[in-house]
Amino acid sequence: MNKAGCLLAAGLLLALGLPSCRIQQVQNQPRTITVTGNGKVKIPSNQANITLSVITRNIDVVEAAKENSDKMSAVKKAIREAGVPFANITTSNYAIRQEESYQNGRTFVQGQYVVSNQVNITLGGVSYAGAVIDAAVKAGANQLSALTYTAEESDDSVKQARLLAIKQAEEKANTLVTASGATLGKVLRIVEEQIPMDYMSNAGLRNAVDDGQTGDITGGDYEITVSVTATYEIL
């Protein structure tokens, strides 16, 4: 019904004492496009976290535990002598288990007792991480589980990564919309995700140790990554 018809009907309904009708305008939902953008900023790493283990084996559980305790004491002493403060050295995941196996696939055999203990080291600098690992290995540590480099993220670095992410998202949206013959409008929604990244993986650490080159490990750069998902209006 058009406006004139509705007004006429309203007059008739009013004359008859019935409720009048209202004209409602339904607004169309805006066309939108959603894209993602990433911003990356590299800053020098200035912190290192190291996890090493002492693992001992013996048919006598008491001897295995004693040997492990003696070696761990020597490892922690060597780490302190390498310049690491006592407060930055902690132990965790102490465990005792007995090895088990089958002979000829049928006979169950219990083997030696295995005692393991981890030591976690936090370094305020990265230049001597290799030297600390070398000292610990020489003192009795026989497994290195993790080495991660991080950095104190400044507000300026995060802001820079955020701006780069938004810029990339806007450029991507503008390219797609322009190619379709439309015009990019205002941004309607932005969701941010910050993704911290470590410099060296565990696999890289184990390879360095196997090659006997732990003293040459360097921190490199720490990468701050910000990812945004942005929704824009299409005009």
Domain limits for position 180: 28-45+153-201+216-235
Q: In the chain, which ranges are E strands?
A: 31-44, 47-58, 89-103, 107-123, 143-150, 184-196, 221-234
The verdict on pTM exceeding 0.85 is no
**What per-residue confidence (pLDDT) applies to 196?**
59
Instruction: Tell whether 60 and 144 lie within a shared domain.
Output: yes
% of the chain with per-residue pLDDT over 70: 76
Question: Which CATH number do you get for residue 53?
Answer: 3.30.70.2970
Is residue 164 a part of any domain in this protein?
A: yes
Joined tokens for residue 230: 């942005």
**What per-residue confidence (pLDDT) applies to 216?**
60
Mean pLDDT across the stretch 14-24? 40
Instruction: Tell whether 108 and 40 lie within a shared domain.
Output: no
Q: What is the pLDDT of residues 68-125, one digit of tens each?
A: 999 999 999 999 999 999 999 999 999 999 988 877 777 677 889 999 999 999 998 8
C-alpha to C-alpha distance for 220 and 35, rounded to whole angstroms: 32
Residue 43 CA, chain-centre distance (Å), reads 16
Is residue 3 a part of any domain in this protein?
A: no
Mean pLDDT for the chain overall: 81
* Strand bridging mode 143-150 / 47-58: antiparallel
Q: What is the pLDDT of residues 34-80, one digit of tens each?
A: 999 999 998 888 888 999 999 999 999 999 999 999 999 999 999 99
Instruction: Tell whether 160 and 144 lie within a shared domain.
Output: no
CB 126 within 8 A of CB 112: no
